[in-house]
């Protein structure tokens, strides 16, 4: 949205452009810190400002930006209880990214969901594979496997079926 705000016409008074940019930055800050109440308040004020601006200018950039901000406000409103306080998590050394999970999913299952593959996985099959993969990553797989097959020798304790 900040990139789109850069496409607002040059003849805008500087304080209006800076105000839009500043408000978007503030909304980002509120969301990073889990303050959805303040973020929604700022989004409402920004929507009001953009509506006035759209009435005044009627440019494609203003219309598109207003549409995006309204959609974003709807998304934040619908998901506010799920938005974590990343600032707090970061200060306490907790994970703030899901990139490692997305990478694993892409490596493990996405190939089999491609339509051109001869053998495709069902949703249930993929779900079961992910459950096993998580158990391997959490190092629970050996214990579970031993419970299922108590008489089966498991040879190498250092290679926990992770291959």
The pLDDT tens digits for 32-47 are 999 999 999 999 998 9
Q: In terms of domains, do 60 and 27 share one?
A: yes
Q: In terms of domains, do 64 and 123 share one?
A: no
Query: How many domains does one find in the chain?
Result: 2
Q: In terms of domains, do 83 and 110 share one?
A: no
The pLDDT tens digits for 88-118 are 888 888 877 767 767 776 766 666 665 556 6
Q: Which of 44, 67, 90 is the last residue of a domain?
A: 90
Q: In terms of domains, do 38 and 13 share one?
A: yes
**Quick one: pLDDT band at residue 159, thresholds 50, 70, 90?**
low
Structural domain includes residue 6? yes
CA distance 36 to 127: 32
Instruction: Yes or no: say if 70 and 47 are a contact pair by the CB < 8 Å rule.
Output: yes
Share of the chain above pLDDT 70, in %: 74
Instruction: Yes or no: say if 57 and 7 are a contact pair by the CB < 8 Å rule.
Output: no
Higher-pLDDT residue of 53 and 156 is 53
Please give the residue range of the domain that contains residue 81: 2-90
Q: In terms of domains, do 9 and 48 share one?
A: yes
Q: In terms of domains, do 108 and 35 share one?
A: no
Output the pLDDT for position 27: 93
Structural domain includes residue 155? no
CA distance 83 to 31: 7
Q: In terms of domains, do 62 and 139 share one?
A: no
Q: In terms of domains, do 78 and 108 share one?
A: no
Output the pLDDT for position 28: 92
Output the pLDDT for position 151: 81
Higher-pLDDT residue of 155 and 83 is 83
Q: In terms of domains, do 37 and 59 share one?
A: yes
User: 46-70 as b/e, with b when 16 or more CB fall inside 10 Å?
Assistant: beebbeebbeebeeeebeebbeebe
The pLDDT tens digits for 118-129 are 666 778 887 888
Q: In terms of domains, do 7 and 83 share one?
A: yes
CA distance 117 to 100: 25
């Amino acid at each position: 949205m900040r990139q789109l705000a850069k496409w607002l016409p040059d003849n805008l008074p500087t304080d209006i452009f800076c105000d839009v940019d500043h408000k978007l930055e503030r909304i980002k800050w509120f969301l990073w810190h889990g303050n959805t109440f303040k973020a929604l308040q700022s989004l409402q004020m920004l929507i009001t400002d953009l509506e006035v601006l759209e009435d005044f200018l009627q440019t494609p950039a203003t219309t598109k930006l207003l549409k995006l901000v309204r959609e974003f406000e709807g998304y934040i409103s619908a998901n506010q209880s799920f938005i974590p306080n990343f600032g707090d998590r970061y200060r306490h050394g907790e994970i703030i990214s899901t990139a490692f999970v997305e990478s694993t999913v892409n490596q493990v299952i996405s190939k089999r969901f491609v339509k051109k593959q001869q053998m495709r996985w069902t949703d249930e099959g993929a779900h079961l594979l992910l459950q096993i993969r998580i158990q391997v990553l959490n190092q629970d797989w050996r214990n579970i496997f031993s419970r299922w097959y108590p008489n089966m020798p498991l040879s190498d304790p250092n290679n926990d079926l992770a291959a």
